[in-house]
Amino acid sequence: MEIRGKVALVLGAVKGIGKGIGLDFARQGANLILTRHDWPDAFCDMETEFEKTGAPHHIINADLRKPDDIVSLAEFINSRYGRLDILVNNIERGGWPVVHGAYVEDQWDLEIETTLKAKRWVFEAMFPLLKTGDHSVVINISSVAAITGRSGPAALVFNEGYSAANRGVRTLTETWARMGAPSVRVNELMLGIFETRHAQGTRGWREVLTDDEKQSLINHTLTGRTGRVSDVVNAVNFIVRDAPYMTGAVLRIDGGFVLGGAKVPPMPPGIV
């Protein structure tokens, strides 16, 4: 599916991965709806960068933990375009054990509400618009926390609630792929340690993790580096443009983080 002229909703586009995906869609000529809520200090930069692209776009302030805000967002898209072609379900809040210290109920609730609950209600509100589009695409963004939980080097950055929420995203992906077939494809990008999520550019990486702890996360990654926004943008383009036969799938973009803790021993002596 070509992106030019398509109507695309990108959640959490104020900075980081959401912003990178939105800017790439803008350069390809999409009609954009972008949401923001947190990080008000980045609002001006967001507005300036999207304005420079010259692409038609609408920036909506919305707290996606609130169903009323989601309904208003869907009503806006319906009144303006009458359809939705691409939904990038990119919303999460992940608590770092090393940053937040003692795990409290409010932190657990925040991780579940944003990472899992909000995705579900957004999809429900947008589903009628997606069905109106022509071969629409949904991409859920999740984390390898769903696999690792709070263990090994990942124990520094993934709380249990965040891990549990991300594991739940796969159920949503598979259910929605069944609901949307054959006209709405739903896939999931499961991300590892990225420069704007749990690595460079985050307060935890800058102010809390020691050099040894940072290196332990990199050493655990087979490619020997953290992920970049461009890595996600490339994967999003693949799913939208080049994978029409792909739905209900989880594509892990983690540099081999999940595999990195397991050693490959030498072959044992055998009989030839």
Exposed / middle / buried, residue 150 (Cβ in 10 Å: 0-12, 13-18, 19+): middle
Residue 101 has pLDDT above 80, yes or no: no
Dist CA 142 CA 112 (whole Å): 12
How much is the pLDDT for 204?
87
Q: Is the peptide bond before 182 cis (omega within 30 degrees of 0)?
A: yes
Do the Cβ atoms of 31 and 7 come closer than 8 Å? yes
In this structure, what DSSP letter does residue 202 have? S
Residue 128 has pLDDT above 80, yes or no: yes
pLDDT tens digit sequence for 27-51: 999 999 999 998 899 999 999 999 9
How much is the pLDDT for 117?
96
Residue 95 has pLDDT above 80, yes or no: no
pLDDT tens digit sequence for 195-209: 988 899 888 898 889
Residue 265 has pLDDT above 90, yes or no: no
Residue 226 has pLDDT above 90, yes or no: yes
Site of tokens 């209600």: 121
